[in-house]
């Protein structure tokens, strides 16, 4: 229903980021696993296409992302590398004779691991791979759109996927492990807004170094970090609404509501204050994200807030459970 009513558009990641983030945040209050799966589909997969793709990719793929005709996932993390994306082992070698990229998983440690949406429903994956041009020269990690299932949901040739089951509390997210055994991808399906391989295999880029290109390739994670932090803050809001309301109704030792006890106040009120502080910080960050000149500051702040908000969410939710 969300997709059929046009509630969320992946293109808004770049065209109207505040509208996109508000739409995604609304899912946090309805169904948290759904918001995670939608985040992978719209924010990571769709957002990568919007930010790193060209008009060709936007017209070919974004309408199908918005309609859920092409459920998407995000193939960055590998079993052996985790956050060290620069060191990923999956390769994308260009063959000028076929005008195709060869996507290959050279070892089990190079398999794409814990990929949300991959185990059951994903049909397209934004795959991070080390790019090699026609002269076999390394050009750093780039992103390729790889079909992992056909329109009927069957695995594509030379694609293998294992089901990793769900994370605790996120039973609605199908997490998978993906291996590519020389999967052929058309040259046009490299997201080439900033870098390109021509038909003869010659590489060109508007960004001069591998390190700078890498920073651009992972820049799309900022929106995802914001939404993870926002989801943590929203979880705190829900828990505190329940706990505070309950504390103002539940009586103990006569007609005295438990919120009147100082021990109860000292648990819930600091948690409430922290949640307000985090929410104000998220609003500040949201406004910063509309300013292209603040990209570096947004990166720092979103990374820090993601860590702080998720740590505090765990602490506050447990406190609310114990208090009420």
pLDDT at 159: 98
Range with the lowest mean pLDDT among 116-120, 141-145, 164-168, 183-187? 164-168
pLDDT band at 244 (very low <50, low <70, confident <90, very high): very high
Instruction: Of 179, 190, 121, 119, give the one whose Cα is nearest residue 151.
Output: 121
On the question of pLDDT at 1 being above 90, the answer is: no
Q: Bigger pLDDT: 97 or 6?
A: 97
Run of H or E residues at 309: helix 295-323
Residue 72: burial class (beta carbons within 10 Å; 0-12, 13-18, 19+): buried
Average pLDDT, integer, range 231-247: 96
Paired with 72 in beta bridges are 124
pLDDT at 5: 83
pLDDT band at 195 (very low <50, low <70, confident <90, very high): very high
**Global pTM exceeds 0.75:** yes
pLDDT at 105: 98
The chain-wide mean pLDDT, for the chain, equals 94
Paired with 132 in beta bridges are 93, 138
Question: Which residue matches tokens 């050009």?
Answer: 139
pLDDT band at 226 (very low <50, low <70, confident <90, very high): very high
197 contact partners, CB below 8 Å, separation of at least 6: 94, 131, 133, 134, 187, 190, 203
pLDDT at 169: 81
pLDDT at 149: 98
Each residue's pLDDT tens digit, 264-305: 999 999 999 999 999 999 999 999 988 878 888 999 999 999
3-state secondary structure of 38: helix
Instruction: Of 315, 101, 56, give the one whose Cα is nearest residue 199.
Output: 101
> How many CA atoms within 13 Å lie on the side-chain side of 100?
9
pLDDT at 6: 83
Question: How is 67-131 classified by DSSP, letter by letter?
Answer: HTSS-EEEE--BTTTTT-GGG---EEEEETTTTEEEEE--SGGGSEEEEETTTTT--EEEEEEEE
Run of H or E residues at 26: helix 17-28
Q: What percentage of residues in the chain have a pLDDT greater than 90?
A: 85
Instruction: Of 260, 234, 250, give the one whose Cα is nearest residue 316.
Output: 234
Max intra-chain CA distance, the chain: 84
On the question of pLDDT at 11 being above 80, the answer is: yes
Distances (CA, A) of 170 to 33, 125, 167, 252: 5, 21, 5, 35
SS3 of the chain: helix, strand, coil, percent, to 5: 50, 25, 30
pLDDT at 2: 81
On the question of pLDDT at 166 being above 90, the answer is: no
Beta carbons of 302 and 225 less than 8 angstroms apart: yes
- Nearest-angstrom CA–CA distance, 241 and 320: 10
């Amino acid at each position: 229903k969300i997709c059929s009513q046009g509630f969320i558009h992946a293109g808004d990641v770049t065209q109207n980021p505040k509208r996109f983030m508000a739409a995604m945040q609304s899912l946090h209050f309805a169904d948290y696993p759904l918001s995670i799966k939608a985040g992978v589909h719209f924010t990571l997969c769709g957002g990568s296409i919007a930010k790193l793709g060209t008009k060709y990719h936007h017209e070919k793929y974004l309408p199908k992302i918005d309609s859920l005709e092409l459920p998407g996932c995000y193939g960055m993390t590998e079993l052996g590398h985790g956050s060290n994306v620069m060191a990923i082992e999956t390769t994308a070698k260009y063959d000028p004779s076929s005008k195709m990229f060869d996507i290959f998983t050279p070892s089990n440690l190079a398999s794409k691991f814990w990929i949300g949406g991959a185990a059951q429903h994903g049909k397209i994956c934004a795959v991070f791979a080390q790019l090699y041009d026609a002269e076999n020269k390394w050009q750093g990690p780039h992103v390729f759109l790889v079909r992992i299932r056909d329109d009927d949901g069957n695995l594509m040739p030379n694609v293998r996927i294992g089901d990793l089951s769900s994370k605790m509390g996120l039973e609605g997210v199908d997490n998978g492990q993906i291996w590519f055994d020389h999967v052929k991808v058309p040259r046009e399906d490299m997201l080439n807004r900033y870098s390109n391989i021509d038909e003869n295999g010659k590489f060109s880029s508007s960004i001069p170094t591998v390190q700078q290109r890498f920073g651009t390739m992972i820049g799309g994670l900022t929106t995802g970090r914001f939404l993870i932090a926002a989801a943590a803050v929203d979880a705190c809001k829900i828990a505190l609404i329940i706990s505070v309301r309950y504390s103002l109704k539940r009586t103990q030792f006569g007609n005295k509501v438990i919120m009147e006890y100082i021990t109860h106040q000292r648990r819930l009120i600091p948690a409430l204050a922290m949640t307000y502080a985090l929410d104000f910080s998220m609003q500040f960050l949201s406004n910063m994200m509309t300013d292209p000149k603040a990209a570096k500051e947004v990166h720092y702040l979103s990374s820090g807030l993601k860590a702080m908000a998720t740590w505090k969410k765990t602490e506050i939710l447990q406190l609310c459970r114990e208090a009420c």
